[in-house]
Structure 1
């Protein structure tokens, strides 16, 4: 992992492969390691950059609530430092919320963008309440019990019996999340606005990926638009974690999309 300074805090990132740039943003209580099965497939054709988001993995975890905008600005700072003028940005879950904020404000830096098991909808009132319960639990009990209860719900039900090692790996990654980082990110997600208009208004290529058995963000909450510039893909048998449950299929979907985005941009 390499390290850069963004907005006064250190952001660590993985940088592999050569060519057109794909930026992968992980989900809540994850890190760049969430992409460990996807990056080797993509980096044979692309330069793949995967940061540990603010408050996650090896990146710094400042105290206090974060905002999705702040987390997107960290990614902008990373791209500026690496002198990357344009990329295709794809975000998983929390990473998708950050991608939408980035696309809303820095569209000129993107060749295309996408949500992977994410949504442009804001939190419901119930979800907002649950974020506060999560923060309280993390602060009172620490990260380990929280991750132990959180991880089973993000996989398809069958995965626990068919491939329990995948859940264990997600937990291992989750345990490395600094408690104040998890709390800060949970509060950022709670306050995020409705960004469906970012998807409906953009002329950029957009990729929307849903897991057929995602209990956290069902496909209908991901597929908020079907304009001609939007590619929709459902990963069969996957829950919220196709990057673990079906990495080859997800990588194939991403490659097809990135290839199309690059050719659209080269002809425009």
Structure 2
């Protein structure tokens, strides 16, 4: 892992491969490790830059609530340090919320973007209450029981029983999330705005990926825009974690999209 200072905080990242730059953002209580099986399938053709988001992995986890805008600014500052004027940006779940903030405020830095098991919708009132409960639980009991309860819900039901190694890997990654980082990020997600208008107004190439059996974000919540610049892909038989459940199919989807971006 390499490190840079962004807004006074250390952000750790991986930088692998050669070619056009591709930035991959992970989801809540994940890290750059979420992408470890996908990057080798991409890095012979693309330069893959994969950060640990603020509050996650080996990056700093400042105390207090974060905002999606702060987390997006971290990504932009990383690109500035790497002297990358334009990239393609793909975000998984929380990473997708961050991606949309970049689209809204820094569209000139993007060749294209994508939401992987993510949505432009804001949190519902019910989900906002669940975020507060999650923060309370983490503060009271620590990160381990929270991760143990959350991770199985991210996978297709059949995979929970058939592939315990995937569940265990995601848990081990989640355990490394600093408790204050999980709490700060939960509040960032809770307060994020509705960005469906940002998604529909963008003229950039867009990739929207949904899992057929995603119990966290439905296909309807992902596929909010149907227009010529948008590619919609549903990956069969996976839940919210195609980078672990079907890395080869996710990588193939990304490569097809990137080929389209480069041809424009």
What residue is the counterpart of 1:44 in the other structure?
44
Q: Which residue of 2 aligns with 1:245?
A: 245
Distance in 2, Cα, partners of 1:230 & 1:180 = 36
Q: Distance in 2 between matches of 1:180 and 1:257?
A: 36
1:214-259 Cα offsets, whole Å, 9 max, x none, are 0000101000011100000000000000000000000000011011
Q: Paired residue for 1:200?
A: 200
Q: Does 1:20 align with 2:20?
A: yes
**Matched residue, 1:61:** 61
Corresponding residue pairs, total: 264
Q: CA deviation at 1:161?
A: 1.4
Q: Give, in whole Å, the separation in 2 of the partners of 1:10 and 1:252.
A: 32
Q: Who is 1:168 aligned against? A: 168
Mean Cα displacement is larger for which, 156-165 or 179-188? 156-165
Deviation of 1:205 after TM superposition, in Å, equals 0.2
- Give the drift of 1:160: 1.1
- Number of the residue aligned with 2:184: 184
Q: Tell me the CA shift for residue 263 of structure 1.
A: 1.3
Question: Per-residue CA shift, 1:63-98, capped at 9, x if unaligned?
Answer: 000000000000000000000011000000000000
Equivalent residue number for residue 231 of structure 1: 231
**What CA distance in whole angstroms lies between the structure 2 residues aligned with 1:167 and 1:131?**
22
The equivalent of 1:215 in structure 2 is 215
Runs of 4+ in 1 over 2 A off after TM superposition: none
1:53-132 equivalence runs, <5 A = 53-132=53-132
Aligned residue for 2:136? 136
2-structure distance, mates of 1:175, 1:167: 12
CA distance in 1, matches of 2:259, 2:12: 27
**3-state SS of the aligned residue for 1:149?**
helix
Rounded Cα–Cα distance in structure 2 between residues aligned with 1:18 and 1:103:
24
How far the C-alpha of 1:262 sits from its partner, in A, is: 1.4
| Unaligned ranges ≥5, structure 2 | none
- Write out per-residue CA displacement over residues 5-33 of structure 1, whole angstroms, 9 at most, x where no aligned residue: 00000000000001101100000000000
Equivalent position SS for 1:106: helix
1:154 aligns with 2:172: no
Mapped partners of 1:241, 1:77: distance in 2: 27
- TM-score of the aligned structures, taking structure 1 as reference length: 0.98
Question: Secondary structure at 1:61's aligned position in 2?
Answer: coil
SS in 1 for 2:157: coil
